């Protein structure tokens, strides 16, 4: 497709043009009085959180140890101020 169609072309071949949008997902552009309309496929957007996969190998050891460790010696306020 690619090229915009006129309303007359759309009227003449509407079912084939709609099927093309449905089959390819490619929008159809229609020029009318110097303005452009678009017929686009409306599909539900994928759930981005559902795409997150677990990676159990990221934390090696017991995750509870990370919570119970004393991290106070790791913070250096003077060093952070110069970053």
**How far is Cα 48 from Cα 34, in angstroms, rounded to an integer?**
38
29: left (phi over 0), alpha (psi -120 to 50) or beta: beta
Q: Where are the alpha helices (DSSP H) in the chain?
A: 7-12, 14-24, 63-68, 77-81
pTM: 0.51
Look at residue 15 in the predicted model and tell me its pLDDT. 97
Residue 70 φ/ψ, nearest 5 degrees:
-90, 105
Look at residue 80 in the predicted model and tell me its pLDDT. 61
pLDDT digits (tens, 9 = 90+) for 26-63: 999 999 999 999 999 988 777 888 888 887 777 777 77
């Amino acid at each position: 497709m690619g090229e915009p169609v006129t309303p007359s072309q759309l009227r003449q071949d509407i079912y084939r043009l709609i099927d093309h949008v449905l089959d390819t997902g490619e929008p159809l552009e229609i020029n009318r009085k110097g303005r452009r309309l678009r017929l686009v496929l409306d599909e539900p957007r994928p759930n981005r959180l559902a795409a997150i996969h677990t990676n159990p190998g990221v934390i090696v050891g017991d995750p509870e140890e990370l919570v119970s460790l004393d991290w106070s010696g790791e913070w250096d306020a003077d060093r952070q101020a110069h970053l």
